[in-house]
C-alpha cells in the first residue's frame, strides 16, 4: 500500500485502466478487500488478477455507473467501506470546430456527473451508519474531477461542465459531510498517462504517470484535503486561463481538447 492507513475495504469505479487501476494496485495488500467495477470485463479481470497477486481479496463487477439502482445496490452490498473512489469517466474529445453531438453530451454528463453521484450518494448514506474511528471519520470518499473543471474549453463542453459541476458539488458538500464523519475529496489532476490521453495529438504539459497520480491522490485523501489539484502550477494556469473573455479563450483553445485529461472506465 502506498500510504500507511486504516483503509481495508475499498470500492473503486472505472478500475479497469488508468487512475482507477493504479489506485487499485497501490491499495492491494493482504487483509484488504477491493470492490472494483468497470465496463471492460477483460481488462477488469486482469486488474483483479494483479491485485490478488499482491494479497488483496478482489470482488469485481461489470457495471454501468449511470444505472442508479444498480449502483445503490452494489455499494450497499459492499459495505461497510473505508474508502470509495468515484473514478469512472468518459470524454467526447472533439476539436473546438466540431460541436458535440447530443448523444456525446448526454453520455459524458451521464457518466461523469450522474455516475459520480450514483456512486457518492449511496456511499454517504452507507458511511453515515458506520462506526467512527479514533479520528472521527466514518469513511472517506474521493471523486476524480479534473483541472478541466476550471476552464470552459471549446471542444470539451460536456466534459468541462461535468467536471466543474462535480468538483463544485464535492467542495460545497464537504463541510457538512465532515461534521457527519465523512471525508469528501475532489481530485483535480492534469494530464495523466492513460489510454485516453494516448490519443492526444497535442502537447500535454505536466504529463504524469498514473502510478504517481495514485500516490498523490491517496496522500491527499488521508490528509483530508477537500480539493486536491496537481500539478499545482497547471491548476493555477487553468484558473487564470478560465478568466479570459470567452472569445479569446475560444481562439486560444481552438486546437486542443482538454476533455482527455481524465480516464475511461
In this structure, is residue 87 part of a structural domain?
yes
Q: Does residue 50 contact residue 22 with C-beta atoms inside 8 Å? A: no
In tens, the pLDDT along 212-239 reads 999 999 999 999 999 999 999 999 988 9
Q: CA–CA separation, 82 vs 160, rounded Å?
A: 29
Contacts of residue 164, Cβ cutoff 8 Å, sequence gap at least 6: 145, 148, 149, 150, 152
> Which pLDDT value is given to residue 4?
46
Exposure string (b/e) for 4-26, b if CB count within 10 Å is 16 or more?
eeebbbbbbbbbbbbbbbbbbbb
> Which pLDDT value is given to residue 260?
42
In this structure, is residue 158 part of a structural domain?
yes
Q: CA–CA separation, 154 vs 172, rounded Å?
A: 26
Contacts of residue 15, Cβ cutoff 8 Å, sequence gap at least 6: 21, 23, 24, 34, 36, 37, 38, 44, 47, 60, 87, 265
In this structure, is residue 180 part of a structural domain?
yes
Phi, psi of 195 (to 5 degrees): -60, -35
Residue found under cell 474511528: 133
Helix (H) or strand (E) holding 15: none
In this structure, is residue 1 part of a structural domain?
no
> Which pLDDT value is given to residue 264?
40
In this structure, is residue 4 part of a structural domain?
no
pTM value > 0.85: yes
In this structure, is residue 63 part of a structural domain?
yes
Phi, psi of 9 (to 5 degrees): -130, 115
In this structure, is residue 229 part of a structural domain?
yes
Of 159, 169, 191, 230, the active-site residue reads: 159
Is 191 known to be catalytic? no
Task: Report whether pLDDT(97) > 80.
Answer: no
Specify the number of domains making up the chain: 1
In this structure, is residue 114 part of a structural domain?
yes
In tens, the pLDDT along 116-149 reads 999 999 999 999 999 999 889 999 999 999 999 9
**CATH number for the domain harbouring residue 194:** 3.40.50.720
Q: Containing domain of residue 224, as a range?
A: 9-261
> Which pLDDT value is given to residue 96?
58
Q: CA–CA separation, 183 vs 83, rounded Å?
A: 9
Task: Report whether pLDDT(243) > 90.
Answer: no
Amino acid at each position: 500500500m502506498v500510504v500507511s492507513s486504516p483503509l481495508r475495504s475499498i470500492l473503486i469505479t472505472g478500475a479497469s485502466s488508468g487512475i482507477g487501476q493504479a489506485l487499485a494496485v497501490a491499495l492491494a495488500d493482504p487483509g484488504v478487500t477491493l470492490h472494483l467495477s468497470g465496463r471492460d470485463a477483460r481488462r477488469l479481470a486482469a486488474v483483479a488478477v494483479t491485485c490478488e497477486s499482491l494479497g488483496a481479496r478482489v470482488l469485481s463487477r461489470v457495471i454501468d455507473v449511470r444505472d442508479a439502482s444498480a449502483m445503490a445496490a452494489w455499494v450497499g452490498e459492499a459495505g461497510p467501506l473505508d474508502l470509495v473512489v468515484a473514478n469512472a469517466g468518459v470524454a467526447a474529445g472533439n476539436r473546438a470546430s466540431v460541436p458535440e453531438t447530443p448523444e456525446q453530451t448526454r453520455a459524458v454528463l451521464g457518466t461523469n456527473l450522474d455516475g459520480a453521484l450514483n456512486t457518492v450518494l449511496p456511499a454517504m448514506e452507507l458511511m453515515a451508519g458506520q462506526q467512527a474511528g479514533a479520528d472521527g471519520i466514518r469513511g472517506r470518499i474521493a471523486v476524480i474531477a479534473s483541472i478541466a473543471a476550471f476552464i470552459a474549453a471549446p471542444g470539451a463542453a460536456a466534459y468541462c461542465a461535468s467536471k466543474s459541476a462535480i468538483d463544485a458539488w464535492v467542495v460545497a458538500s464537504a463541510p457538512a459531510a465532515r461534521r457527519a464523519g465523512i471525508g469528501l475529496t475532489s481530485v483535480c489532476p492534469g494530464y495523466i498517462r492513460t489510454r485516453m490521453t494516448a490519443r492526444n495529438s497535442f502537447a500535454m504539459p505536466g504529463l504524469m504517470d498514473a502510478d504517481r497520480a495514485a500516490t498523490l491522490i491517496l496522500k491527499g485523501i488521508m490528509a483530508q484535503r477537500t480539493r486536491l489539484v496537481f500539478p499545482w502550477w497547471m491548476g493555477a494556469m487553468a484558473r487564470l486561463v478560465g478568466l479570459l473573455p470567452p472569445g479569446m479563450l475560444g481562439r486560444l483553445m481552438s486546437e486542443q481538447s482538454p476533455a482527455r485529461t481524465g480516464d475511461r472506465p
